Every structure is written in C-alpha cells, then in structure tokens.
Amino acid sequence: MPALVLVLNSGSSSIKFTLYSGAEVRLDGQISGLGAKPHITLRSNNPDLKADRPLTSNEGASHGTALAALLPVLDQVLGGGNVNAVGHRVVHGGIAYSAPVQITEEIFADLKALEPLAPLHQPHNLAGIEAARTAFPEALQVACFDTAFHRSHPWVNDTFALPRQFYDEGVRRYGFHGLSFEYICSYLETAYPGLHSGRLIVAHLGNGASMCAIREGKSVGSTMGFTALDGLPMGTRCGQLDPGVLLYLLSAKGMSVEDVTDLLYKQSGLKGLSGISQDMRTLTQSTDPRAAEAIDYFIFRIRREIGAMAAILGGLDAVVFTGGIGENSVLVRDRVCADQDWLGLELDPQENRAGAEDLSADTSRVRILRVPTDEEEMIRRHTQALLRKLS
C-alpha cells in the first residue's frame, strides 16, 4: 500500500492540508480564520467527504483544535489506516538546514530560535508541527524549508557588507519561496529540459513576492535576504528599504522595535502604498489614483529586479511567472514585459489574456512562461523520500 502522507502549510490564522496516497491526492483543503471566524473548505473525490462550512469557536480556537476537528474526516478517508508521515512547510532553516529533516526536539528548538527572522511565518509553522505531533504521535514529522533551495548561492550574493563576524553568526541573505522555485525547476526539467539547464528568472508573485535567478537548476540570486521583508513590495510587507529609514523611525520618530516591526510586516507594501487593500484584484478594479500608484511601484520593482537578475546570470533564457498574482494577473504580466525587447522579452498579448502556459511572442528571444506552482507537491516528494530513507 502506498505511504499516506499529510502535508501541512500552517499560517498565522490558517492551515492548508493535503492528504496523499503515494502521489495521488486523497483530499485537500484549508481551515481559515483561526481564532476569529473559523471556516473549513475540504475537497475530495468522494462526494460524501466535501465541506464548506463554518467551524465552532472551540474547533477553530487554535491550530491544535482545528487539526483535531479535521481528524474525523481523515479517519473516514484512511479507513482504519494511519498517516505514515506529516510534511511541514517551514519558512526559515537558517544556516544549518539545507535539506528536509526529521523533526526532533533538538531540531524543533533550533527552528524556534529562528522565529525573530520570520515572525509572520515561523511561529505558526511550528504551531502546526506541535499540533501534528499531538494528532499523529506515531507519524514521521518532516520539516521542508523555504530557505534550503538558496543555500547554493555564491558568497557575493550571500553576504552583506558588514564586519565578517556577523556573517559567521548567520547574518546573511537566505532567500525564501524555495519550495516554489524548486517545484518550478522540477516542472521545467520535464517539460522544457533545455530551459531548465539554462538561465532563468522565476517570479513568485503573490501576497508574499520574490524573484530568483537560477542557473542550471541552482539558485544564484534572490530578491529576498536575511528576512522575508527584502526585495519586492508585497501585500503588507515593504520590500527593499534604505536601512537609514529604520534608524530615523527609531530615533527621530521615537518608534519602538515592536512598532517598526508591525509597520514593516503588516502595514506596508501594497496595503500601505494604496491605503485601500493588499489584494491586487481589489487594486486593479479601483479608480482611486493611490491604487494605480501602488501597482506602478510593484511593477517598477519587478522590472528593476529582472534587469539585476539578468546581469547576475550573464544573459537570460526564460522568465517564469508563478504565485497568485503571477499566475492570474494579465495586467501585471503585460506591464512587466512591456518594452523589454532590448532584453529579448516579447509577450504575446492574446496568449497572455488566454492564460496560456507559453506567453512568448514568436519573435521573443526569451521564453515567457506562466506555470502554476505546487509547494505541497514538493513537500510530499521530500517527505516520502525521507520516509523511504528511514524505513
């Protein structure tokens, strides 16, 4: 019988879940609104195992109670079987973790120490791990890291121009969204092997956004750095910022570290620039000029980083759009690629509007692709591989 693997992606107020039997998805869904208005959405090939309903306040009080509420449904699917392994998305692996690992108490403590580097994600990833260890005490628990894909960075893209001691202590550019970039590379290896071995820019554009320069399947540059704040503007995160601004906010404005953290992580980005929303769909439908300006800045930063990434790579063979905005926004893809023929990028407007996979015009020297990402599938593969290794 194929191994049963549960993949969990735990956020601040949500748990995304997918149950696999081998490579087959048995069920998937999401519990959202934890602690506020909890709601479960569940999809399955079995019509009796579908759900789209509110949870009680007790069921949705925490990651632990939410996972407990899911257990009866999982039991129906398992038919008396057991989950063999649980794979977890963990945003930050620090210096030490460059590959998926079995979660032990020692490793859990290491990951907890990294919470200040990813305060929006790491504490909730770990809450999901704690809940899963309680719910599935016999299952192998596996951490899969968003930073791992980027550990191949050359030193010049890994460091800051600070005294060496800080680099040795772990103050360096880690890069994130690695599971997404890794999945895109695995897809290209099969579907476009010539591109996979070439020079790629993958743009993961969503509420969190970053871009990665990839050569021969290896990350050589990322827009994100020490934390998931750097680089592109995001839904509520600021992206690239002169560090002098932080000194000004702390000294001249008298803001506390907690105030600045909240500002940069939760009040900035598209939300802060527009004063309207962090959702690109809302902004594109708005007639408020501030919404247009927020989109303009988002586009400007992507275009700027494409130039930087192309310079890192010494040329360009393909640009791949992925993530919620990258996959779904015709406007963003069109404007990012507009007047980029000097770089070899020419978009086919009709294919772009149709949401095709290959968006390149016939005259484009660089391929432009739209590829949906699947971080859960990547976690599934890593978890099953470790399960086989340890069996």
Pairing label, strands 367-370, 51-54: unpaired
> For every residue of 205-270, which 3-state class applies, written as one string?
ECCCEEEEEEECCEEEEECCCCCCCCCCCCCCCCCCCCHHHHHHHHHCCCCCHHHHHHHHHHCCHH
Whether the Cβ atoms of residue 302 and residue 211 lie closer than 8 Å to each other: yes
* 109 — pLDDT class (breaks 50, 70, 90): very high
Longest dimension (CA), the chain: 64
- Residue 29: per-residue pLDDT: 92
Rg of the chain on CA atoms, in Å: 21
CA pseudo-torsion sign 45, 177, 234, 125: positive
pLDDT attached to residue 274: 98
Mean pLDDT of the 382-389 span:
97
Domains 4-145 and 191-370 share a fold: yes
Going from N- to C-terminal start, the domains of the chain cover 4-145, 191-370
Q: Among 152, 162, 171, which Cα is nearest to 221's? A: 152
DSSP H helical segments within 79-170, as ranges?
Answer: 105-113, 122-135, 155-158, 164-169
pLDDT tens per residue, range 13-35: 788 999 999 999 999 999 888 88
Q: What is the pTM of this model?
A: 0.94
Q: Which comes out higher in pLDDT, residue 38 or 333? A: 333
The mean pLDDT of 363-385, rounded to a whole number, is: 97
What are the tens digits of pLDDT across the range 166-199?
Answer: 999 999 999 999 999 999 999 999 999 999 999 9
Which phi-psi region, left, alpha or beta, contains residue 158 (left: φ > 0; alpha: ψ -120 to 50)? alpha
Q: How confident is the model at residue 67 (pLDDT cuts 50, 70, 90)?
A: confident
Query: pLDDT tens digits, residue range 241-254?
Result: 999 999 999 999 99
Contact 234, 207 (CB under 8 A): yes
Mean pLDDT of 319-333: 97
Residue 344 has pLDDT above 90, yes or no: yes
**Which segment of 70-79, 138-147, 259-268, 373-382 scores lowest on mean pLDDT?**
70-79
Confidence of residue 204 (pLDDT cuts 50, 70, 90): very high
Tokens found for residue 75: 């039991």
Helix%, strand%, coil% for the chain, nearest 5: 45, 20, 35
Q: What pLDDT digit, counting tens, does each position of 126-145 carry?
A: 989 999 999 899 999 999 99
pLDDT at 14: 84
In the chain, the percentage of residues whose pLDDT exceeds 70 is 99
What's the average model confidence in pLDDT over 299-322? Answer: 98
Burial class of residue 259 (count of CB atoms within 10 Å of its CB; 0-12, 13-18, 19+): middle
pLDDT above 80: residue 12 = no
Active site residues: 146
Q: Is 19 helix (H, G, I), strand (E, B) or coil?
A: strand
Identify the helix (H) or strand (E) that includes residue 5.
strand 4-10
Q: What is the pLDDT of residue 64?
A: 85
- The one-character DSSP state at 83 is -
| C-alpha–C-alpha distance, residues 202 and 176, integer Å | 12
Token pair belonging to 381: 């593969």
Span 4-145 CATH architecture:
2-Layer Sandwich (3.30)
Give phi and psi for 147, each to the nearest 5. Answer: -85, -20
Query: Residue 8: what pLDDT?
Result: 94
- pLDDT of res. 1: 74
pLDDT for the residue 33: 86
Q: What is the pLDDT of residue 251?
A: 97
- For residue 3 the two structure tokens come to 């191994």
Query: How many helices (DSSP H) and strands (DSSP E) are in the chain?
Result: 16, 13
pLDDT at 35 (0 to 100): 82
- Could you report the per-residue pLDDT of 39-58, keeping only the tens digit for each? 889 998 877 778 888 988 88
* pLDDT at residue 304, as a whole number: 98
Pick the CATH number of 191-370 from 3.30.420.40, 3.20.20.70, 1.10.620.20, 3.40.50.150: 3.30.420.40
Top-confidence residue, 129 or 68: 129
